[in-house]
Amino acid sequence: MITCREAADLVTEYLEGTMSPGRRLAMWLHLMLCKSCRVHLAKMRTMIDSLGAIPPETEVPPEFLERLTALSQES
């Protein structure tokens, strides 16, 4: 069984679809049982989608990066 700490460490791999099928199933099962990890997954998905919409040449203010880092560590 995957722990919450492991799930947090694996969330990017899960979203990118680069996990082995067995590991992905274990992650999916954990997510079905753990509301906190589902919320974390949703936050990470939203953050990745939002960042993907920013044009590459956009200059990002340092304050934004600090806030983004803080948000990604919440859960």
Task: Give yes or no for a contact between 26 and 1, defined as CB atoms under 8 angstroms apart.
Answer: yes
pLDDT in tens, 11-63: 999 999 999 999 999 999 999 999 999 999 999 999 888 877 778 788 878 89
What residue type is 58 in one-letter code?
A: T
3 vs 33: CA distance, rounded Å: 11
pLDDT at position 72 is 79
**Lookup result for tokens 């694996």:** 10
Domain boundaries, the chain: 4-73
Residue spans of alpha helices (H) in 1-75? 4-16, 21-33, 35-52, 62-73
Q: Is the pLDDT of residue 75 over 70?
A: no
